[in-house]
A and B are shown apart, each in its own frame.
Chain A
Amino acid sequence: EFRRFSLERSKPGKFEEFYGLLQHVHKIPNVDVLVGYTDIHGDLLPINNDDNYHKAVSTANPLLRIFIQRKEDADYSAFGTDTMTRKKNVLSNVLRPDNHKKKPHIVISMPQDFRPVSSIIDVDILPETHRRVRLYKYGTDKPLGFYIRDGSSVRVTPHGLEKVPGIFISRLVPGGLAQSTGLLAVNDEVLEVNGIEVSGKSLDQVTDMMIANSRNLIITVRPANQRNNVVRNSRTSGSSGQSTESSLPSSTPNLLGNLLQGEEESDEEDIVIEGSGEPQHIPKAAPTSESIESLSQIELLHESTQNGFLPCSEMNLNHSAGSISMECEVPDAGRKSLEEDGTIITL
């Protein structure tokens, strides 16, 4: 079925409104659908939040082609970069999904259905020898699963080489979050914890800092194995460059920008039980007028959303319907995927 309608380009409104409009236009008010559009490169890209919705509207030239699929029989593989070139006829796939029924394949969910478990962040601002890894403890039952120890490393100083004390990863628990990401290894030197340098801090201090940040732990390491470091060169990122950037609105050059957003968002979830009632998450209080001045400095931090770290996340499948828990580990995917996705660089 085709529908044609108009939108005001300067005021596209919110995704939710747009979604409602689509359901209204197609008279399918209670059906979950996936929404996609074709961008200027001909890629079929999803629309599922305000950002990519706005992006889609802005790319309309002047027509914007929107594709809608029922969620239950959606072909997820249709989406993604290079979809139009990889698959010869995406449109036919989308429009006639029964073509695919003959060869069942693993369904990979939409990003919103995933929960991130770890990511490499701030690749653009860190020295190539360092790696900043974010572990998302929230929601997973997996233990963080690693140990740290004291050690010493050699630094280049104005007085020549010098042995300085450092903190190192000493052990990874099999099956733990740290091990399963493949981003941390034994003997990696820990340089920072959530943006704070560990040099000069004792093992116990660093332990306390890590545990205090355990719900959203960002550790910057100097990997013991330096062979897998990225040779940073934006030209190698190829055709996917544009689309990656488009969904990376907050790739700030600001060192701590990414860190603090996540940090602030991560533990607003204290629970209160009123009387004998049900547990509830504690809401955030609106600043009262008398205290607004001083509050503003802290409140400001809450304003930013968590979008900043999406682009280069590894995703852990947690699809409610599927019993398969699949880890999409880059090392298994091999070098090829590395080259395709310029901002992910791992082992």
Chain B
Amino acid sequence: MRRFLRPGHDPVRERLKRDLFQFNKTVEHGFPHQPSALGYSPFLRLMAIGTRSGAIKLYGAPGVEFMGLHEENNTVMQIHFIPDQCQLVTLLDDNSLHLWSLKQHGGASELREEHRFTLKGPPGSPPSATQITAVLPHSSREVLYLGTESGNIFVVELPSFRVLEDRTITPEAVLQRVPEDNCNRRSCELVEALREHPKNPDHILIGYSRGLIVLWDLQNNKATHHFLGSQQLENLYWQRDGSKFISCHYDGSYTQWPVSNDNRQPEPLENIVPYGPFPCKAISKIYWQTTKNGLPYVVFQGGMPRASYGDRHSISVIHGSQQTAFDFTSRVIDFFIIFSSDPAAEFDDPSALVVLAEEELVVIDLKSAGWPAVHPPYLASLHCSAITCSHHVSNIPLKLWERIISAGSKQNIHYSSMPWPIDGGTNIAPDPPQRDLLLTGHEDGTVRFWDASGVCLHLLYKLSTVRVFLTDADPNDNMNTLGEDEWPPLRKVGTFDPYSDDPRLGIQKIYLCKYSGYLAVAGTAGQVLVMELNDEDAEHVVDHAEADLLQDQEGYRWKGHEKLKTRDGPVRFEAGFQPFVLVQCQPPAVVTSLALHSEWKLVAFGTSHGFGLFDHQQKRLVFVKCTLHPSDQLALEGPLSRVKSLKKSLRQSFRRIRRSRVSSRKRRGGSGNASEVQEANAKFDQDALQEMELAPVQRKIEARSAEDSFTGFVRTLYFADTFLRDSSRHCPSLWAGTNGGTVYAFSLRVPPAERRMDEPVRAEQAKEIQLMHRAPVVGILVLDGRSTPLPEPLEVAHDLSKSPDMQGSHQLLVVSEEQFKVFTLPKVSSKLKLKLTALEGCRVRKVTVANFGSCKTDDYSENDLAVLTNLGDIQIISLPFLKLQIRYPCIRKEDVSGIASCVFTKYGQGFYLISPSEFERFSLSTKWLVEPRCIVDMPEVTSNNHVHNKSGTENAARKS
């Protein structure tokens, strides 16, 4: 009981805690999972993306981002901006309409849902009567035309969503004006497209699914023209001057129609099947863009020859004799073209094509020769190959930052130099406080370097480890090598390429030293690469060493995958991080832990069999230690899942891509209903679970023992300069923690710099600690005499940290999945502990030391442990006294991959995957908070002036 009566409510400390800690989910990085709709406002220059989980995200200039969530969590089908307004309308798959608006609040704009509306038909009418298929926000900004499956076009008033019943355009009214012999009632079923005349807002073009197109005069409520298409209609597009329009069809054709006053039933000007003559797929959307030189741009989606290219996701651009079919690796959701929005301009003059594919956003520069892609500053496809691990480095020195950017810019030469064309809104967030790098390891053996300093997660540089190895796939085998005369003229665009050549290439652990530019990367097949940053291309041989982690164990056979074959002879590496040493673990099991000490030039690595230390200066293995329990056959042979063919693992890759994971999205602005819905769902699930009590799930209750499997699995490695043997002399040391609750400490002798190449590095086991609770050791840390964690290698040398206190006694912190324990050093005596699992039933998944600064005073900061548990909670635990400071729920406990992907920064922020393609960024700190803060102003348009004035006079009135 005393434990619970501890005087924890020190008011001073409580106040300080409020100044230090605060939990916020700040921004989602990456590409929205399962996008379903796209919208663009040429007026605001903002793009909107809707998703299948009901989220809507707005993007403008880099840093300008908004997010909203429909409470229904239903798929967003269509997004339409209201012309010349900060408003948009979304249509969900439950046939509901939602009006969103951007309003300024507290100095920044916010996206809020204003109204919702579901169209109701007369009593007794079938649901199709009101099923909305087409939405047209009229340029008057007062009404919305809603085309339906029944062929009726309803008119609703904005923003009230009041149905103006007398203005409904019924199929009957339309048919009165169309000669009977060509059409019947069925011709007017299902409104496929509604387009307002570009010059005359009183005329709208109505396209019905069966091919009938009608130009409707709203003033006189009659059809002025009708056009009889023979093919099923897909979409319509007006030419800028309103003299012609273009229709596209299900059979892969498009047709131009003239609109003139003398002919009320015109014949098509031309009818083209661009990829004929064989049957083609539908052209689902088309743009006709005029230019000064007279040659129009025709841009359309689909239309590929059915038999040979029917599976391609393409968008074709035709401009005079130039024609390219951009070939996407995932389904195209929608696209738009950015063109001159000035209504007075004579030509469209298109500048960019923006395509939303299922897995990425691709922007094509239509002004530069060759139509190169534009490098997007946000919406990066994090998952272009599945993310296998991440590593965050805070506060990158400017020198290294510039070198990485320069290496990356050499990779980006084929990108267009066009400035980002979607540039609405103003980013008013303060500049990021420091330069942060997020490194992601991928299944295909690449490491991507992301600028994680601010709101826009931006790819700086991509490193591939594949060149070191011989793989089955020839890197030159590329779909782009089609000759000039190939038809259709396909060109692969985008970076999303989920198919890994060889799963053994997968990156498992990354460690970057920001001071020296040394990078260690370890992978699935026991490969450990040490790299150095080189600003030039270079060709050299990668030194190669083997570390036999089973040295003393005999008679065992590894049944897992083989090691990767290496390339013989020199390999050419592009500028950037270039490997100079490969250490291959034997057996080639997945590398489970990695540590690099750039000052001592040592790299330590561990697998499920043991760990080793490699001197990358002398390129010599210092020692290996087998941690395997002799009876642990399972670990010896490799987990069964590893015994699988390449084919199977490829299949799994496919499956992973297809896997749809509906992730719980954060809620903003008190939309409490959604969480209630989810809770209800969870409860329903739980109830359903209880119904299935036929075979109840059982859990065995048994103490851990030394004989358990995978006790030798090395979970953590740590270098420290501390007092290992006696309290008078400190020395370099390497610490390793295993799955079975064992901590090994080796004292190291690193020769002084002048004799570094002459004398070998020596290591000797100094301690072995067995935690009796035998839980996996997930973190090891040494605190100096001031109870401050030891600085990183080279941190002191770069004057970025105080020298550690080598006078007072050091302490060892061992974090297992179940408890935190502090021991004295050099004599290991237990000093303090905090039990987590025994008291709360949760286990430590991730732990990091983070520095928290006070938001009130600049001179106060402290180090604490940031801990993520298997229940998805984040806890902050004080150092060195191990007291729980605060706890926040962060990730749903069912979201195992989200929890596994979490990475903390050194300054109390963190990232985790909310979907395969999105990182959620969160902050635990009051001081370090990176979140979007932006303003979207209404551009000055004459028709809007009165709005501004009105609000201005209102303010004035209030003041007086």
Question: Contact residues of A with B, CB < 8 Å?
Answer: 137, 143-152, 165, 170-171, 193-194, 196, 201-215, 217, 254-257, 260, 263, 267-276, 279, 282-285, 287-288, 291, 294-295, 297-298, 300-301
- The answer to whether B545 has its CB under 8 Å from any CB of chain A is no
Q: Is the CB of B698 within 8 A of A267?
A: no
Residues of B within 8 A of A206 (CB): 699, 841
User: Which residues on A sit within 8 Å (CB–CB) of B833?
Assistant: 298
Question: CB-CB < 8 A to B840: which residues of A?
Answer: 196, 209
Distance A288 CA – B240 CA, assembled complex (angstroms) = 83
A203: nearest residue on chain B (CB-CB)? Answer: B699
Q: How near does chain B come to A147, taking the closest CB pair, in angstroms? A: 4
Report chain B residues within 8 Å CB of A301: 2-3
Q: Does B830 contact A (CB under 8 A)?
A: yes
- Contact of B1 with A257 in the complex, beta carbons under 8 Å: yes
B33 at interface, CB cutoff 8 A: no
Find chain B residues with CB under 8 A from A297 CB: 2-3, 6-7
> By the criterion CB–CB under 8 Å, are B841 and A209 in contact?
yes
Q: How many A-B residue pairs have CB under 8 A?
A: 159
Contact with A211, one of B696, B702, B824 (Cβ below 8 angstroms) = B702
Tell which of A152, A214, A263 touches B701, judged by Cβ atoms closer than 8 Å: A214
Determine whether the beta carbon of B696 is less than 8 Å from that of A149: yes
B1 pairs with A282, CB closer than 8 A: no
Q: How far is the CB of A177 from chain B (nearest CB, A)?
A: 10
Question: Given that A208-B842, A283-B830 are known contacts, is A148 also in contact with B686, CB under 8 Å in the complex?
Answer: no
A residues near B775, Cβ cutoff 8 Å: 212
Interfacial residues, chain B to chain A (CB-CB below 8 A):
1-4, 6-7, 686, 689-690, 693, 696-704, 725, 764-773, 775, 809, 818-819, 821, 823-824, 828-833, 835, 837-843, 870-871, 880-881, 883, 893
Please tell me which one of the listed residues B703, B769, B841 contacts residue A214 in the complex, with CB atoms under 8 A apart: B703
Q: Chain A's nearest CB lies how many Å from the CB of B692? A: 10
Among residues of A, the one whose C-beta sits closest to the C-beta of B831 is A285
CB-CB nearest 9 A-B residue pairs: A205-B841, A214-B703, A212-B837, A285-B829, A207-B699, A209-B841, A212-B838, A285-B831, A273-B768
Contact of B769 (CB < 8 Å), options: A202, A282, A294 = A282
Bound form: Cα–Cα A207–B838 in Å: 10
Contacts of B702 in A (CB 8 A): 143-145, 211, 214
Contact A150 B842 (CB under 8 A): no
Contacts of A209 in B (CB 8 A): 837-841
The smallest C-beta distance from B105 to any residue of chain A, in angstroms, reads: 37
Task: Give min CB distance, B158 to chain A, whole Å.
Answer: 47
Contact B832 A283 (CB under 8 A): no
In whole angstroms, what is the CA distance A203 to B704 when docked?
A: 18
The residues of A that contact B824 with a CB separation of less than 8 Å are: 285
In whole angstroms, how far apart are the Cα atoms of A194 and B701 in the complex? 14
Q: Are B841 and A208 in contact (CB under 8 A)?
A: yes
B residues less than 8 Å from A214 (CB atoms)? 701-704
Beyond contacts A208-B841, A214-B704: 20 other A-B pairs, Cβ-Cβ < 8 A, are: A143-B702, A144-B702, A147-B699, A148-B698, A148-B699, A170-B696, A208-B842, A209-B838, A209-B841, A211-B701, A212-B775, A212-B835, A212-B838, A214-B703, A256-B3, A272-B770, A274-B767, A287-B831, A288-B809, A297-B7
B829 touches A284 (CB 8 A): yes
Contacts of A143 in B (CB 8 A): 702-703
Q: From B741, which residue of chain A is reached at the shortest CB distance?
A: A270
User: Chain A residues with Cβ under 8 A from B823's Cβ?
Assistant: 282, 285
**In the complex where A150-B697, A171-B698, A271-B769 touch, is A212 in contact with B832 (Cβ < 8 A)?**
no
Q: Within the complex, what minimum Cβ distance (angstroms) separates A249 from chain B?
A: 17
How many angstroms between the C-alpha atoms of A268 and B819 in the bound complex? 13
Q: B772 touching A215 by the CB < 8 A rule? A: yes
- Chain A residues in 8 Å Cβ range of B766: 274-275
Looking at B703, B823, B839, the one whose CB has the most chain A CB atoms below 10 A away is B703
Q: Are A203 and B838 in contact (CB under 8 A)?
A: no
Partner of B830, one of A254, A276, A284, A291: A284
Residues of B with C-beta under 8 A to A300:
2
Partner pick for B686 among A144, A146, A165, CB 8 A cutoff: A165
Most chain A beta-carbon neighbours within 10 Å: one of B686, B819, B831: B831
Which chain A residues border B7 with CB–CB below 8 Å? 297
CB of A272 within 8 A of CB of B768, answer: yes
Residue from the set A146, A147, A288, A298 with the largest chain B CB neighbour count within 10 Å: A298
B701 and A144 contacting across the interface, CB-CB below 8 Å: yes
Q: Please indicate the chain B residues that have their CB under 8 angstroms from the CB of A267 in the complex.
A: 772-773
Residue of B nearest to A148 (CB): B699
Within the assembled complex, what's the spacing in Å between the Cα atoms of A301 and B832?
Answer: 11
Bound complex: CA A165 to CA B683 (Å)? 11
Given contacts A215-B773, A282-B830, contact A291 B765 (CB under 8 A): no
Alpha-carbon distance A146/B828, docked complex (angstroms): 35
CA–CA, A212 to B1, complex, Å? 20
CB-based contact B769/A272 at 8 Å? yes
Interchain nearest-CB distance for A238 vs B (Å): 32
Q: In the bound complex, do residue B770 and residue A260 qualify as a contact, i.e. CB atoms below 8 Å apart?
A: no
The verdict on A268 contacting B830 (CB below 8 Å), with A205-B842, A291-B880 known, is yes
For B828, what are the chain A residues with a Cβ–Cβ distance below 8 Å? 272, 274, 282
In the assembled complex, the Cα of A208 lies from the Cα of B768 at a distance in Å of 26
Q: Quick one: given A212-B818, A301-B2, are A282 and B838 in contact (CB under 8 Å)?
A: no
Residues of A within 8 A of B1 (CB): 254-257, 260
Least CB distance, A153 to chain B, in whole angstroms: 12
Asked if B698 contacts A170 (CB within 8 A), the reply is yes
Q: Which residues of A contact B832 (CB under 8 A)?
A: 295, 298
How far is B725's CA from A148's CA once the two chains are assembled, in angstroms? 46
Is A147 touching B700 in the complex (CB atoms < 8 A)?
A: yes
Residues of chain A lying within 8 A (CB to CB) of residue B809: 288
Cα distance A24–B78 when bound, in Å? 98
CB pair B830–A270 under 8 Å, yes or no, is: yes
Contact A271 B699 (CB under 8 A): no
Q: 5 A-B residue contacts at CB 8 Å?
A: A147-B699, A170-B698, A270-B821, A282-B829, A295-B831
The minimal Cβ–Cβ distance linking B451 to chain A, given in whole angstroms, is: 38
Q: Are B765 and A276 in contact (CB under 8 A)?
A: yes
* Interfacial chain B residues near A208, Cβ < 8 Å: 818, 837, 841-843, 870
The smallest beta-carbon distance between A50 and chain B, in angstroms, is 23
Residue pair B689, A150 in contact (C-beta under 8 Å): yes
Q: What chain B residues lie within 8 Å of A275 (beta carbons)?
A: 725, 764-767
Interchain CA distance A295-B686 in the complex, whole Å:
43
Contacts of B697 in A (CB 8 A): 149-150, 203
Give the residues in chain B near A152, CB-CB below 8 Å: 690
CB < 8 Å neighbour of B770 from A215, A268, A271: A271
Q: How far is the CA of A202 from the CA of B893 in the complex (A)?
A: 10
With a cutoff of 8 Å between Cβ atoms, the chain A residues found around residue B698 in the complex are 147-149, 170-171
Residues of the A chain whose Cβ atoms lie less than 8 Å from the Cβ of B838: 194, 209, 212-213, 263
C-alpha gap A288/B786 in the complex (Å): 13
In the complex the two chains form, is B770's CB within 8 Å of A270's CB?
Answer: yes
A205–B841 Cα gap in the complex (Å)? 5
Residue of A with least CB distance to B690: A152
Q: Across the two chains, which residue of chain B brings its CB closest to A217?
A: B701
Q: What is the CB-to-nearest-CB distance from A242 to chain B, in angstroms, rounded to a whole number?
A: 28
CA distance A21 to B569 in the complex (A): 84
- Residue in B686, B764, B767, B883 whose beta carbon sits within 8 Å of that of A272 in the complex: B767
Select one of A150, A171, A202, A291 contacting B690, CB under 8 A.
A150
Chain B residues near A148 (CB-CB < 8 A): 698-699, 701
Shortest distance from the beta carbon of B673 to any chain A beta carbon, whole Å: 23
Residues of B within 8 A of A279 (CB): 770
Of B696, B701, B725, which is within 8 A of A150 by CB?
B696
B368 to A: closest C-beta gap in Å: 56
A323 to B174 alpha-carbon distance, docked (Å): 103
Chain A proximity of B840: nearest CB distance (Å): 8
A213 CA to B772 CA in the complex, in Å?
Answer: 11
Q: A274-B766, A275-B766 are contacts. A137–B830 as well, Cβ < 8 Å?
A: no
Contact in complex: A215, B841 (CB < 8 Å): no
The answer to whether B701 touches A207 (Cβ under 8 A) is yes
Bound-state Cα–Cα, A140 to B438, Å: 49
CA distance A295 to B824 in the complex (A): 14
